[in-house]
Amino acid sequence: MESSDAIAALAALAQATRLDTFRLLVRHEPEGLPAGELARLLDVPANTMSAHLGTLARAGLVAGTRHSRSIVYRADLERLRELILFLLKDCCGGDAALCTPLIAELTSCCAPLEAVQ
């Protein structure tokens, strides 16, 4: 990921509704959510949600697929992975021991469901 791409992604997430939208879409992977449902769940007018989704899409963080009369949006988890790796690439000057707590926390939040139970 280039710095300009990371800046665009971070700028898109630097607004409360867009951040909430992205986090909600991440929670609903891989099915995604229709734009209208996103607006309803976050109590945002549909036209406002559309503008926020456009910003997130231009940053490459979400993608929409038309299903009949609605558009279902999904978080682009590959783009999220690229952004996280960009931010952590030079973590702790290459000293893996210093990054271990951060990596452990990331790993535990994404553990497979059967491992958590």
Tell me if 22 sits within 8 A of 75, measured CB to CB.
Answer: yes
> What's residue 103's pLDDT?
74
Token pair 């990331």: residue: 106
The CA angle 89-74-43, to the nearest 5 degrees, is 110
75 touches 62 (CB < 8 A): yes
The strand ranges marked E within 15-97 are 33-34, 62-67, 70-75
Q: Where are the domains of the chain?
A: 3-78
The predicted pLDDT at position 113 comes to 54
> Tell me, what's the pLDDT at 6?
93
pLDDT (0 to 100) of residue 111: 59
What confidence score (pLDDT) does residue 117 get?
Answer: 45
CATH code for 3-78? Answer: 1.10.10.10
pLDDT at 60: 96
User: Which class for 42: exposed (0-12), middle (13-18), buried (19 or more C-beta within 10 A)?
Assistant: middle
What pLDDT is recorded for position 23?
A: 95
Per-residue pLDDT of the chain (117 residues; tens, 9 = 90+): 889 999 999 999 999 999 999 999 999 999 999 999 999 999 999 999 999 999 999 999 999 999 888 899 999 999 999 998 888 877 777 777 777 777 777 776 665 655 444
Tokens in use for 19?
A: 């951040």
Sign of CA dihedral 35, 37, 40, 41: negative
pLDDT at residue 115 in the model: 46
